[in-house]
Amino acid sequence: MNQIGTAGQARISQATVLIVGVGGLGSYAAVILARAGVKKLILVDPDTVSLTNLQRQALFTENDCQEHRFKVTAVKNHLQAINSSVEVVAIPSPLTADLVSDNHFDLCLDCLDNYRGRALLNELAIEHHFDYVFASCAGNYGNVMAISPQEHPCLACLFPDIKQLMNTDCDIIGVNAALLPLVAGMQASIALHYLVDQSTVDFDHLITYDNWSMTANRFKVSKQATCPVCQRHQQISTGQGGSQLTMLCGANAYYVRLAHGVKLTSWAYHLNSLGALITSNPLFIQFKWVNRPVSLFKNGKLVMYDLANRADAEGQLNRIIKLANEIREITSDESSCHSNN
Ligand SMILES: [Zn+2]
């Protein structure tokens, strides 16, 4: 390809790309970039593979689901089978400021499925001076835009109502599974263009694609003089407007990270005595609380299933925090017994 050439391929082979979210979009984008021969991919996603992912998330198998693999681990395994010369770093955690400052990368791909995460990524891009490619899918509609928020519009310039979007549940609409590889392909294409020659990338247009009528459009986006994020540096991702509960796409499930790690053995022992424990292993436990399944991971990640809406999830979270306090009290009683002996 003339646009890439030998010099462009050399730049691609020296590049590191951070992919935030490796579900429907991120798994496809990761495959394209691994096959294109980037030097290194850093994959960030806190979720494990579930059965409901398999109809639209390309790389995962029933075995990944049975083994409760983190999505980043499953994607890493597949990528290394495709191109063993690509270095893949799998980080099974949500995006944080530390993660951005601790890792060098040339470009980031926003493959998230929620606007709370996207708002945080946008703020981090402004604070840490990096560019990224936004993409989203809902129903038959896909959006893609290259974002360089220092000089050009940021995500909050594009979506002035981003605070409302942050509390929108993404799986009400569902996603056409065939849309995902198209949008991820556009996103990866912009990424390759950026890595070859960022001076000719268009950072001022949103591309929308309708996968049913097969029509694409480009819309000019302007940097907003009153944008609270890129002009006034407000942190809207951590502001009021809902808890840190994040809805998982494609399931009536929410996740949150409990403060500090958890002692799974204490949880398993206590829940077993209540007859609520379903399974336990060194990595995670599953139990039922108020008749609804819950998974708790060693790193403190809590996933609550079968919830009707956000208010229902908040109620279940409050009950589980109460349970966590009870378990902490029992455990500290036990440790004081040990120190007395
Ligand atoms: Zn802005």
Q: Which has the higher per-residue pLDDT, 170 or 223?
A: 223
Q: CB–CB of 99/91 below 8 Å?
A: yes
What topology is assigned to 5-220 in CATH?
A: Rossmann fold (3.40.50)
Say which range, 11-20, 64-73, 167-176, 310-319, has the weakest mean pLDDT.
Answer: 167-176
**Amino acid making up residue 70:** F
- How close is the Cα of 224 to the center of ligand 1, in Å? 6
- How close is the Cα of 210 to the center of ligand 1, in Å? 26
Helix (H, G, I), strand (E, B) or coil at 306: coil
**CATH 3.40.50.720 residue window(s) in the chain:** 5-220
User: What are the CA-CA distances from residue 268 to residues 70, 261, 265, 322 (Å)?
Assistant: 21, 15, 5, 16
Model confidence at 119, in pLDDT bands (50, 70, 90)? very high
Q: What is the pLDDT averaged over residues 233-255?
A: 69
- How close is the Cα of 118 to the center of ligand 1, in Å? 13
- How close is the Cα of 257 to the center of ligand 1, in Å? 29
- How close is the Cα of 145 to the center of ligand 1, in Å? 14
In angstroms, the CA 120 to CA 6 distance is: 36
- How close is the Cα of 122 to the center of ligand 1, in Å? 9
Q: Is the pLDDT of residue 242 over 50?
A: no
**CATH 3.30.310.10 residue window(s) in the chain:** 252-340
Q: CB–CB of 148/200 below 8 Å?
A: no
- How close is the Cα of 98 to the center of ligand 1, in Å? 23
- How close is the Cα of 97 to the center of ligand 1, in Å? 19
Domain 252-340 listed as CATH 3.30.310.10? yes
- How close is the Cα of 175 to the center of ligand 1, in Å? 27
Say which range, 102-106, 181-185, 282-286, has the weakest mean pLDDT.
Answer: 282-286
